[in-house]
Amino acid sequence: MSDINVHVPAQSIYGLLGPNGAGKTTLIRIITQIIAADRGSTFINGRPMRFDDIRKIGYLPEERGLYKKMKVGEQLLYLAQLKDLSRREATERIRVWLRKFEIDTWWDKKIEDLSKGMQQKIQFIATVLHRPDVIILDEPFSGFDPINVNLLKDEILRLRDDGSTIIFSTHRMESVEELCDHISLINKSQKIIEGSKDKIKEQFKSNTFQVRHRGKLEQLNGSFQFMGTEETKEGIYHSHIKLIDGMKTNALLSYLIEKVEVLSFAENIPSMNDIFISMVKEDEDE
């Protein structure tokens, strides 16, 4: 890593994004004190992190690390007690989580008998069981089918709403769209963009609109620019129009209403996937 400074707002879901080899896992390992930084500092709640702050962190690494010969219940009990939970309290919390994930009959199943996705559920439970202040999830949806992805998303959102701060590292941009409040994009061990997801999307808007209308637009005045149009069926057109010279959305809509019957009108908002690709490509070209 090289002079990266990131600020993770409390009680938010913070997306840590970047291509393979960008430095995301290294940064996570520095935060969790698995490795030491050559220079720089890590702060939690406005003060330098201490070694015992690790107990306030739940970390789900991309590389899975369960003991395959152990049974689900004893595995979770062991990991919970490492986080200073009593056996009784750990057992109660484990039972709650197993019911949430509809796997309450798995207590005596061996880890090695579970599918990759089912093992992932167990590891996720182990990560959050001690109710950490900070939860770090590195590709948490690996091995999950769509139903279980949605189940896990609901739990991640609930954990945030209950007060946890979540650092979320993933390559799945659709998950970033759904979950993240803030993001940081890292490439070549450098931060290239950071901020709230909504503000970043606003920054990358192109001021273009998709308009579906009845009747052909013969021409536009100088405040608007055709980016393309096609007739989708007889008399129905789909046009792409750009605002220029600082014109406002209402001005375009008012202009169109006078010319054609507007059937739908929507601004082209860049996806996080579009932003990710454009920023990384621009950084590679520099």
Quote the crossing angle between the two packed helices 72-82 and 116-128, to the nearest 10°.
Answer: 30
Q: Which of 193, 189, 191 is nearest to 22 (CA)?
A: 189
Domain ranges of the chain: 13-201, 206-268
d(CA 132, CA 134) in angstroms, rounded, equals 5
Mean confidence (pLDDT) of the chain: 89
Task: Give the C-alpha separation, 158 to 166, whole Å.
Answer: 11
Model confidence pLDDT, tens digit, residues 52-64: 888 899 999 988 7
Confidence (pLDDT) at 286: 58
Arithmetic mean of pLDDT, 168-172: 86
Looking at residue 206, what is its pLDDT?
A: 87
Please say whether the beta carbons of 14 and 168 come within 8 A: yes
The hierarchical CATH code for the domain 13-201 is 3.40.50.300
Angstrom distances, CA of residue 135 to CA of 62, 76, 80, 180, 188: 14, 17, 15, 13, 25
Q: Is the pLDDT of residue 142 over 90?
A: no
How does pLDDT run across 215-229, given as a tens digit for each residue? 988 778 878 988 888
- Per-residue pLDDT tens digits for 209-268: 999 999 988 778 878 988 888 888 888 999 999 998 778 899 999 999 999 999 999 999
Predicted TM-score of the model (pTM): 0.85
Residue 237 and residue 176: Cα distance in Å, rounded? 33
Quote the Cα angle for 27-136-155, to 5°.
155
Whether the Cβ atoms of residue 231 and residue 44 lie closer than 8 Å to each other: no
Report the pLDDT value the prediction gives residue 18, as an integer from 0 to 100. 85
Percent of the chain predicted with pLDDT > 70: 98
The yes-or-no verdict on residue 88 having pLDDT over 70 is yes
Our CA angle for 160, 153, 110, nearest 5°, is 110
The predicted structure's pLDDT at residue 108? 94
Residue 79 has pLDDT above 90, yes or no: yes
CB 184 within 8 A of CB 194: yes
Q: Give the mean model confidence (pLDDT) for residues 121-128.
A: 95
The neighbour count for residue 137, using CB atoms within 10 Å, is: 26
71 contacts 111 by C-beta, under 8 angstroms: yes
State the Cα angle at 42 between 37 and 43, rounded to 5°: 170
Cα gap 189→285, rounded to integer Å: 16
